[in-house]
Amino acid sequence: MTIQIDHLHKSYGSGAEAHEVLHDINLTIDSGEVFGILGSSGAGKSTLVRCINLLERPTSGKVLIDGRDITGVKGKELADVRAGIGMIFQNFSLFQQRTVLRNVTFPLELNHTPKAKREERARYLLDLVGLADLADRYPSQLSGGQQQRVAIARALATDPEIIYFDEPTSALDPELTGEVLAVMRQLAEEGMTMLVVTHEMGFARNVSSKTVFMENGVVVEQAPSREFFEDPKEERTREFLRKIEHTN
């Protein structure tokens, strides 16, 4: 599946109050690619992710999936588009009153997968993220890193074509960050298409195939990751990388 973002703009408010937070974004994400999206807080990264899965509607421009414009889809078509997209958020967003197993089976209940099949798939996925033993616990009984791995298993349940990660490790301490990044690295190696908004330079540099740097609603630079980190073309990118290196 190829996702193409074509001259995408997004404004909030209208008239004199209008505030453009995304300005003429153009990106192509091919099947199996891992995109790292970097940028300071307020750059527009989350808004971009939300426009791609239509949690927000772009003000103008298009999102194309395999050449088909999905920007205006509604109802069942919208549900189908969303079913192909897994989402991971920084605060995990698990159902607190459900066990780990029943968090992962949840999307399969929604699409009416038979019970035995749901459980079989959920147990397989929990094993994949290293949590087979914790299936009967509740989220509050898990560490943050374990909760995020449950969220990843849940996102994989419906076999999505692409997964968006929106700062998946920013609520975690370094040790727990490592275990979540290991699962993400494994998914990347297995060929999952991933779009990862991150502050983890190691992940962007070593795991993502392409890196995009955003600032003030604009894509300043996008390049294959090796080139991006070894030979950034834009002064603003170099400045950002220097600042990050300094704080790490």
Q: 29, 35, 38, 46: which one contacts ligand ADP (CB under 6 A)?
A: 46
**Sequence-ordered list of residues with C-beta below 8 angstroms from that of 198, at least 6 positions apart, any chain:** 36, 37, 38, 165, 167, 168, 169, 204
As a whole number of angstroms, the distance between CA 208 and CA 194 comes to: 8
As a whole number of angstroms, the distance between CA 156 and CA 150 comes to: 10
- According to the binding rule CB under 6 A, does residue 41 interact with ligand ADP? yes
- According to the binding rule CB under 6 A, does residue 45 interact with ligand ADP? yes
The one segment of 1-9, 44-52, 182-190, 204-212 that binds ligand ADP by CB under 6 A: 44-52
Shortest Cβ 194–ligand ADP spacing (Å): 17
Ordered DSSP codes for 33-70? -EEEEE--TTSSHHHHHHHHTTSS--SEEEEEETTEE-
Q: 25, 43, 194, 204: which one contacts ligand ADP (CB under 6 A)?
A: 43
Shortest Cβ 111–ligand ADP spacing (Å): 29
Helical (H) or strand (E) element with 182:
helix 174-189
As a whole number of angstroms, the distance between CA 8 and CA 230 comes to: 29
- According to the binding rule CB under 6 A, does residue 95 interact with ligand ADP? no
Nearer to ligand ADP by Cβ, of 99 and 222: the residue is 222
- According to the binding rule CB under 6 A, does residue 191 interact with ligand ADP? no
Shortest Cβ 45–ligand ADP spacing (Å): 4
- According to the binding rule CB under 6 A, does residue 58 interact with ligand ADP? no
- 218 forms beta bridges with 215
Residues 8-37: x/- map of binding to ligand ADP (CB under 6 A)? ----x--------x----------------
- According to the binding rule CB under 6 A, does residue 204 interact with ligand ADP? no
Ramachandran bin of 192, using left for φ above 0, alpha for ψ from -120 to 50, beta for the remaining angles: beta
**What SS3 class is residue 139?**
helix
Q: Are strands 19-29 and 34-38 parallel, antiparallel or unpaired?
A: unpaired
- 62 forms beta bridges with 6
- According to the binding rule CB under 6 A, does residue 220 interact with ligand ADP? no
**What SS3 class is residue 27?**
strand
- According to the binding rule CB under 6 A, does residue 44 interact with ligand ADP? yes
- According to the binding rule CB under 6 A, does residue 96 interact with ligand ADP? no
Interface residues toward ligand ADP, by CB under 6 A: 12, 21, 39, 41-47
